[in-house]
Structure 1
Amino acid sequence: MSDQVALCVDIGSTYTKAAAVDLATGALLGSADHPTTIDTDVMVGFAAVRDELAVGEPLVLACSSAGGGLRLAVVGYEREISAEAGRRAALSAGARVVHVSAGRLDRAGTAALRSAAPDVLLLVGGTDGGESSVLLHNAAALASAQLGVPIVVAGNVVVRQEVCDILEAQGATVVPTENVLPDIGELDPEPARAAIRSVFLDHVIGGKNLSVDPDFAGLVRAVTPDAVLDGVSVLAEQLRSGPSGIAAGTRPGGSVVVVDVGGATTDVYCVLSPDAEQTSLRREAVGVPTHRRTVEGDLGLRWSAHALLAAAADERLLADPERQSLSAWVEARQEVSAP
């Protein structure tokens, strides 16, 4: 065994999973899981998997979606353009998009935002040098609402400083970044993704009351879906770069799709090859990101099992005996999971 070992940990809402990896060889040394101790302190579950693997003092690489992960609301200009660009950028950052608002915020709109209880707001609107009045109006509305959550500003860069000044004058925590939609058909999610990740680590994860251990906030490096998308990107690059044959029959340069079926949601991650990217350019007003994630928020194997079963029945994927058997299993699981 190498002296340098990484302990890769995912602290989820249901289970805490860990894998020990030899950094010199890439060998998997072992894996462990433990129910996430979210009702007490998540560091208890972390200690359990670390002790089970018994790898001494490893380099810890942790991500988390416990406590609902990263809840994010998008405030934009046009629902199908800037607001949609913001939504796509948020999904690529691993956020759970709990609300999307388009147009000028009014009292009802700010009430809906407050009700959605986001951890972070993503404020977008206008292409660079384009329409700016809605973005400025929404900045003033959010400043007055004082929702008490960090705001990532990723709209028209011409008025970015003015937007930040409006928000900061009312005490808001503001993180400015590049426009998610600098031009029609040109989606640029990476700067916003980096800003959202920074806000999650600096302002959100420590405030979810998941642990009283001061080391917890420093332990977590990413929200789980963001880390998974990075992993899929690495896989895609490896498949393109060498003939060594990671997977038999894999075509170098091909796109990669990964489906992660969880207890509450199903996440789909996609990294396009350069050829596939070219075929998709400018087919949409928003554009298509080469690295993206989508979420089926009501399809999962535990908390959303009822919805998954109903969707399978609607698509006629189940014979009657299968449906009846699975219905009984779902009911039993719901009884076990009920508080």
Structure 2
Amino acid sequence: MKCYLFIDFGSTYTKVTLVDIEKEEIHATGKSYTTVETDVTIGYKNALEKLYKKTDKEIDIVKKLACSSAAGGLKIVAIGLVPELTAEAAKRAALGAGARVMNTYSHNLNKSEIEEIKASDADMVLLAGGTDGGNHICINHNAQMIANSGISIPVVIAGNKSCNDEIEEIFKGKIEYHVTENVMPKLNQINVEPARETIRSIFMKQIVNAKGMENVEDDISEILMPTPASVLNAAEALSKGSEDEKGIGDLAILDIGGATTDIHSIGEGSPSKASVVLRGLEEPIAKRTVEGDLGMRYSAHSILEAAGKNMFRKYIDIKEYGLEEELENRYNNTSFIPETERDIKFDEAMAKVCTDLAMSRHAGIVESIYSPLGATFVQTGKDLMELPFVIGTGGVIVNSKSPSEILNALLFSIEDPNSLKPRNPKFLIDKDYILSAMGLLTKVDRNMAVRMLKKYIVDCEGI
């Protein structure tokens, strides 16, 4: 039996998926705790051992491809000129590349900000600023500050192209740098894909720094991309389809993890009402947001600060729980698995809070602005009110007996009348954790990936 093997080196678990090429089916899966602190090879081999126990057929693995968010995944600092423009464009480029943005800086960097960057544990810096032929003073100043700082991580230069020669001279012999196209060549026009590809390629070279990853590389064909980028690839494939397979249309993916809550949305997000006008930077068709303060374990201690007690009250009787104690316990015990009804109920309440707040941050808003001509409705961000599909993934959703109850938390509510959150989408679920694997499969056979996504992404109502 000819198969593809897809590996996801996650921050918590390493997951392996064996795909029967002829039948276009998932033949077997396995997962094991990611052993990044010691040697990722151990977790990988444990996951493979569990997978092989599930099959008694003779297997011919044609290709092994991997994605990774081990060792915290890809962490980036984004720098631009104007917060709402080039700095925001740089942030979107980093997020679309599968990164976690540690911080975003704008205007001229100062010494304290440079010290923050040095202490941030970031893997690289994305340096933007100025449209092509526009402002050059800011990006040159920031390049000089970086060069003088002793920062040792790579810098991706994606700003005003007129400054590239000068910045290369500033960095030469001091900083590892990579030049790519401007993330905003013209005002309000974003161009993030070249920067994304540059970031991904640097990440793939660096990923061997995870303990034992160099040993794994000998056993697999290639580590293609960060895990979030693979999930985004799968989302785009399912939404848009392929040469031979029709996609299902606009969609969003909610991924609740131990450290972050990610949302990917595919669609223009244009105003659903004719009377609304757009304001601000154009939204990408494929948009990803990462909420580093909303996670089930590694970020559990920060959820209460981000959401407040009132949001918890929407989903649980807080008189029955000590919120701070429950959240701190999960933060201090990242391998904690809820088994009692009480613990499961609290975990799912946490998931609902993460879902609610993450979608509020991801979706756009509409506001009424008054002018001499009267009231005008202005939209910032994506309008997701008519979004037809939302896919849930992540352990707390996949293992829930009522995943739709968690997903309901992302819906529009009259309590937040300016939000453009979805009103009535159909809820689907990634029951078999195939999104990252299918994102890898798109690089081999996009037609097969779309067919398998449509087969395995199932309706929540059937669960």
Normalising to structure 1: TM-score of the pair?
Answer: 0.85
- Equivalences for 1:161-176 in 2 at 5 Å? 161-168=165-172, 170-176=173-179
SS at match of 1:86: helix
Question: Between the two proteins, what is the percent identity of the paired residues?
Answer: 34
Give, in angstroms, the shift of residue 335 of structure 1. 5.4
SS at match of 2:64: strand
Distance 1:307 1:106 in 2: 28
Distance 2:221 2:322 in 1: 45
Contact 2:75–2:101 under 8 Å retained in 1: yes
SS at match of 2:142: helix
Corresponding residue for 2:339?
A: none
Corresponding residue for 1:324?
A: 321
Corresponding residue for 1:105?
A: 109
Of residues 21, 24, 27, the one that matches 2:25 is 27
Which residue identity does 1:314 align to in structure 2?
N
Which residue identity does 2:262 align to in structure 1?
D
Aligned pair count reads: 325
SS at match of 1:293: strand
Of residues 184, 187, 192, the one that matches 2:187 is 184
SS at match of 1:233: helix
Corresponding residue for 1:215?
A: 217
Distance 1:260 1:83 in 2: 25
Corresponding residue for 1:263?
A: 258
Contact 1:150–1:175 under 8 Å retained in 2: yes
Which residue identity does 1:317 align to in structure 2?
K
Contact 2:64–2:221 under 8 Å retained in 1: no
Give, in angstroms, the shift of residue 160 of structure 1. 1.8
Cα separation, partners in 2 of 1:313 and 1:122, compared to 1, 3 Å: same
Cα separation, partners in 2 of 1:306 and 1:58, compared to 1, 3 Å: farther
SS at match of 2:41: helix
Contact 1:73–1:99 under 8 Å retained in 2: yes
Which residue identity does 2:314 align to in structure 1?
L
Distance 2:334 2:91 in 1: 31
Distance 2:300 2:97 in 1: 26
Give, in angstroms, the shift of residue 238 of structure 1. 2.1
Cα separation, partners in 2 of 1:326 and 1:238, compared to 1, 3 Å: farther
1:227 and 2:230 equivalent? yes
Corresponding residue for 1:59?
A: 63
Unaligned ranges ≥5, structure 1: 247-251
SS at match of 1:317: helix
Cα separation, partners in 2 of 1:106 and 1:334, compared to 1, 3 Å: closer
Of residues 235, 239, 242, the one that matches 1:236 is 239
SS at match of 2:321: helix
Unaligned ranges ≥5, structure 2: 53-58, 337-463
Corresponding residue for 1:126?
A: 130
Cα separation, partners in 2 of 1:258 and 1:214, compared to 1, 3 Å: closer
Corresponding residue for 2:297?
A: 302
Give, in angstroms, the shift of residue 145 of structure 1. 1.5
Corresponding residue for 2:9?
A: 11
Contact 2:271–2:277 under 8 Å retained in 1: no
- Equivalences for 1:243-258 in 2 at 5 Å? 254-258=249-253
Distance 1:10 1:322 in 2: 40
Which residue identity does 2:207 align to in structure 1?
I
Corresponding residue for 1:40?
A: 38
1:289 and 2:284 equivalent? yes
Which residue identity does 1:122 align to in structure 2?
L
Distance 2:110 2:50 in 1: 53
Give, in angstroms, the shift of residue 51 of structure 1. 2.8
Residue by residue over 1:245-293, the C-alpha shift from the partner in whole angstroms, topping out at 9 and shown as x without a partner, is: x7xxxxx5x311000010111000011159779x9x9934432111110
Cα separation, partners in 2 of 1:200 and 1:335, compared to 1, 3 Å: closer
Which residue identity does 1:6 align to in structure 2?
Y
Distance 2:323 2:112 in 1: 42
Corresponding residue for 1:249?
A: none
Contact 1:184–1:285 under 8 Å retained in 2: no
Give, in angstroms, the shift of residue 56 of structure 1. 4.9
Please, what is the CA RMSD of the aligned residues? Answer: 3.0
Contact 2:268–2:283 under 8 Å retained in 1: no
Give, in angstroms, the shift of residue 221 of structure 1. 1.6
Cα separation, partners in 2 of 1:338 and 1:34, compared to 1, 3 Å: closer
SS at match of 2:241: helix
